[in-house]
Chain A
Amino acid sequence: MKVLGIDTSNTPLGLALADGNVVKGEWITNVKKDHSLRAMPAIESLFRQCGMAPKDLDLIVVAKGPGSYTGVRIGVTIAKTLAWSLGIPIAGVSSLEVLAANGRCFSGLIVPLFDARRGHIYTGLYHSDGSVLRQLEPDQLVVADEWARRLGERGEDVLFIGADVLLYHELFQRVLGGRAHMAPPSLALPRPSELVMLGKEKERRNAHTFVPDYLRLAEAEVKWLAKQKGERNDGDRCTISANDHS
């Protein structure tokens, strides 16, 4: 089975091609540049390097979010369109789960995270038996302080993974002390090969109905809903600009 994996959900651009259980090629860059510009040329180049053609594919796996709204949409749009036009299914994997997979050899709690600005993070809680990841808490958008406190209450060792961990390093050290572990830089970026391998085990979906997991409503919707309820936004629900093009 030949699989293409696409992750443009956050700053890193990740692609992988696999044939069965063999990863044929993997592409990762971690620069703040336009995914819309670079994703398709990178996909074309990876196919060429691996001596494969789009018509060989059996499955497309995509990182479905959370992350930058625009970034998630670019990857999902490419994945959906390729899958539909090639007549093959699509599988989605949480962008956080992909990151968590980097910690699969850690015996404590695994916490992947992406910064969501204004003190908020996208995160989740995972555990691994050394090979298979298990999700302990759903992916969520949460205030970093509150998340640190909840993790502290668990009294276990925690591995934090992600390029944005640096932003919250001090907070986690302060709350968790010696139980906080930071993944090294070589494990800080989501691996598209992990995306592909995780995706192979996920439910096959129809390309037409596949949508991103933004994990939050657009700002205009939050405001509109608040207005319908006749109350102001209580500030607990985080929103960002309706025009998020990061």
Chain B
Amino acid sequence: MNEDVYVLGIETSCDETAAAVVKNGRAILSNVVASQMESHRRFGGVVPEIASRHHVEQITLVIEEAMQQAKVSFSDLQAIAVTAGPGLVGALLVGVNAAKALAFAHGIPLVGVHHIAGHIYANQLVSEMKFPLLALVVSGGHTELVYMEEHVKFKVIGETRDDAAGEAYDKVARALGLPYPGGPHIDRLAQEGEPTIDLPRAWLEEGSYDFSFSGLKSAVLNTLHRAKQRGEEIDPKQMAASFQASVVEVLTTKTLQAAKQYRVRQVLLAGGVAANRGLRTALGERMRQELPGVELVIPPLSLCTDNAAMIAAAGTMLYWQGRRSDLALNADPSLPLA
């Protein structure tokens, strides 16, 4: 590469309006995120219509901010990368149409990016990817194990069959009376409690890397319900610790099994739940004990949650591989990772 490549990334798949400029797929020149969390808190979750309305209000401001911070103009950009899916369709539409308008107005190549590919490539902003690798992507919307033999070649070897891990966290948090979003609160409580309550682990069939968290969620709700009927108190700390222990055990065990079977050189942790201390610690410890030769990469929190730098990073690699989208690029709420 004898010429520097600047890519503008745009991400609006859920409740963050984000834009970023990344140089050569590795260096973050800007990473702007306008969070709508405050707007959705009163509803106890993300309301799609409200998320879409906020995206329209924020989109050009956020892109302008990202370009100003990076000190680039449209003529400096080699490509515009945008999340095309999966996500909330009405929210995705705003980013996709903004990206298409920019690409058209300034004659810049357009690259549609899969949201999960973005989460995985967040790792490239902190460390070099070494193949073959395994990525565990865990967030409010996703729980996936992705195997990569080489750049932009994704193979989903396991995924959730019902709730995403982050979704289960939010529902259990609500049942425990914790504020939205519940994940960080459960993580904090879990550090203070002990996993004394017996909760199930969903291993599914022998050899499967798929996940299921709805049974665990129901077990928590039932336990709380039964205790209430009997007039007993359940310590939220013990429940948080027990719930987290089940989630973390399943995630780490399946990740280690897959890492061994596929003989990977690197394991990446990606997605918003990668901020979870319980998961980070457990995965780190077991990797050290059972797979000492394999590197574990966990990006900093700001790159784990939804952001556009990760979309620009993935988009840069796709751009180098010659991938281009045309102006008929559309938002696809269930876009497959391929």
Contact = CB atoms under 8 A, between A and B. Distances in A.
Interface string A32-55: 001011111101100000000011
A40 B60 contact: no
B60 A36 contact: no
Contacts of A208: 60-61, 64
A85 interface: yes
B331 interface: yes
A212 interface: yes
| Most chain A beta-carbon neighbours within 10 Å: one of B43, B89, B105 | B105
A78 B105 CA distance: 10
A40 B103 CA distance: 10
B102 interface: yes
Interface residues of A, number: 38
Interface residues of B, number: 34
Q: A-side binding surface: helix, strand, loop or mixed? A: helix
Given A85-B106, A221-B50, A243-B48, A39 B97 contact: yes
Contacts of A82: 101, 104-105
Contacts of B96: 36
Contacts of B94: 73, 77
Interface in B43-88: 43, 47-50, 52-53, 56-57, 59-61, 63-64, 74
Contacts of A207: 60
Contacts of B104: 40, 43-44, 54, 82
B74 A36 contact: no
Given A40-B101, A208-B64, A219-B49, A73 B93 contact: yes
Contacts, number: 109
A159 B327 CA distance: 39
A78 B49 contact: no
A127 interface: no
B56 A211 contact: yes
Nearest to B67: A85
B142 interface: no
B328 interface: yes
B97 A77 contact: yes
A86 interface: yes
Nearest to A37: B330
30 contacts: A36-B93, A36-B96, A36-B97, A37-B328, A41-B327, A54-B104, A55-B105, A70-B93, A73-B53, A73-B56, A74-B93, A74-B97, A76-B56, A77-B97, A78-B97, A80-B60, A80-B98, A82-B101, A85-B60, A85-B101, A85-B106, A208-B60, A208-B61, A211-B57, A219-B49, A220-B49, A224-B42, A242-B50, A244-B49, A245-B89
Interface of B: 42-43, 47-50, 52-53, 56-57, 59-61, 63-64, 74, 89-90, 93-94, 96-98, 100-102, 104-106, 326-328, 330-331
